[in-house]
Amino acid sequence: MITNITVVGGTHGNETSGIQLVRNWQRFGVPAAYQALNIDCYLSNQAAIDANVRFLEEDLNRQFTPALLNKQPQSQEARLAHALNQHWGPKGSSEIDLMIDIHNTTSAMGATLIILEADEFHTQLARYVKQQMPEANILVEDEKPYAEHGYLCTLGQRGIMIEVGAQPQGVLRADVYELTHKMALAILDFVLLYNSNSVPALPPCDVFRFIENITFPLDEQGERLAMIHPALQDSDFKPLTQGDPVFTTFSGQVEQWQGDTIYPHFINEAAYHKLHVAFATATKAQL
């Protein structure tokens, strides 16, 4: 049974769809159709929300690995992570059955459901969301065990993320908000079906399984030598094959993809600027 659900916004303080959804549900109540569920709505990084920034010192959504939670916190976000672990956890022993953390991206990823495990529950969830939202993408990040991820949602016994874009940082777009709201309701609808053993038999759906991050070319001083090629920009979850253009160098050259066919996402994500991440890669599979 999935009884206790926590819906989180504001893990990144300038990703406004989740912030607004949580505020709306706090003000007007969670829709009555879900009264059988114990749903808590929570804004996780109020200081970053107030400043309209992703974070103040460190990314809160990377602070929840077992190693970091057992380490003396130094930054404001690390201290907040320890406090949230006490409030909701400790990690691995939480009474939260499902944590839904809502995010935005500046990349053209549309409505994306991110799952961290491919067990029966998450497989059924992915298939149901895809049935209800054919336009949605399912991203599977199970390259490491669930507990080893540093994501805030892993404080729950189960944790998933909603990621919707493209939306500029600090801006609320109605179309992006509506996709966020639609996916949140689809997840809650699934939980009701799951709890009553009424999930319909659904066929496998296409998913994208994370591989690795690709960084921009850099010089010896760590300065970028290139930018995303126009043919790749806004082509999230579309196939990138050998010979396709990836980067346009500032000297006027075109760098091409040299590997196997992959599916890029988080293309030119603004939040990853400091990390020089150009995009993430994935394979396409069925779940």
Per-residue pLDDT tens digits for 246-259: 999 999 999 999 99
- Give this prediction's pTM: 0.97
Cβ(211)–Cβ(282) below 8 Å: yes
246, amino acid identity: V
Specify binding-site residues for Zn(2+). Answer: 12, 15, 103
163 among known catalytic residues: yes
CA distance 207 to 189: 20
Domain count, the chain: 2
Which residues lie closer than 8 Å to 76 by C-beta, 6 or more apart?
A: 47, 56, 57, 58
- The stretch 11-35 carries a mean pLDDT of 98
Q: Among 134, 166, 195, which residue terminates a domain?
A: 195
Strand order in the sheet with 4-9: 38-43, 4-9, 98-104, 159-165, 110-115, 137-140, 206-215, 277-286
What is the distance in angstroms between the CA of the first residue and the CA of the last residue of the chain? Answer: 22
- The stretch 40-54 carries a mean pLDDT of 98
Per the residue annotation, which of 95, 120, 143, 163 is the catalytic one? 163
CA distance 47 to 76: 10
Tell me the residue range of the domain where 20 lies.
4-195
Q: Among 175, 195, 215, which residue terminates a domain?
A: 195
- The stretch 138-165 carries a mean pLDDT of 98
For the segment 192-207, what is each residue's pLDDT rounded down to a tens digit? 999 999 999 999 999 9
Residues 108 and 225 in one domain: no
pLDDT tops 90 at residue 181 = yes
pLDDT tops 90 at residue 89 = no
Cβ(212)–Cβ(280) below 8 Å: yes
Q: Say what the pLDDT of residue 22 is.
A: 98
Residues 101 and 220 in one domain: no
Residues 89 and 216 in one domain: no
Q: Among 195, 223, 242, which residue terminates a domain?
A: 195
Phi, psi (rounded to 5 degrees) for 103: -130, 165
